[in-house]
Copies of this chain bind each other. A is one copy, B any other.
């Protein structure tokens, strides 16, 4: 008997539960409807604070294990108090985190053991847009975002690149950044 016992965990991903979750959603698609939430409070100037805690999913209200509080601000050169990264820098964190989680999941599903995944993200922005000084010729947001991954594991170059590509194809943040997402803003005063 030389059968190999495959661990259910690979890259820290519980693959047995991952596949069981996929099967559960196939049988009951409505459990895939999620709503994520954040609450923000203005502190002073360009400084504000967000709390992230509860969300809806799998047909019930859920809570993260920990309440997370994160700040945003503008640096001094942009007339802020630099208590925290700018809102647009959190977009760079979001794309890196989303693609990296996907890489770990896809690699686990494909039985590839990863030893290292790092990435650097750069976003080019011309502030003539948000400053209202371009006459409408310069967009407000990033003109381009570039993500460079360094990835190592027990697979060849083509397989590793295929894992990154599959993560991109299934990335929620990549979709939101590269395609239009409706944002509705309501205001209550007084």
Task: Tell me the number of copies of this protein.
Answer: 2
In chain A, positions 139-190 with a C-beta closer than 8 Å to chain B are 139-152, 157, 160-161, 164, 168, 170-190
> Pick the contact of A38 from B45, B120, B161 — CB < 8 Å?
B120
Asked, given contacts A151-B188, A187-B161, whether A180 binds B182 with beta carbons under 8 Å apart, the answer is: no
Complex contacts, A95 vs chain B, CB 8 Å = 87, 183
Q: Mark A71-115, 1 if CB is under 8 A from B, else 0.
A: 011111111111111111111111111111101110000000010
Interface size on A, residues (CB 8 A): 131
Let me know if B38 and A151 touch, CB within 8 A.
no
A181 & B142 in contact (Cβ 8 Å cutoff):
yes
A100, B71: Cα distance in complex, Å:
12
Given A90-B94, A157-B190, A189-B157, A41-B118 contact (CB < 8 Å): yes
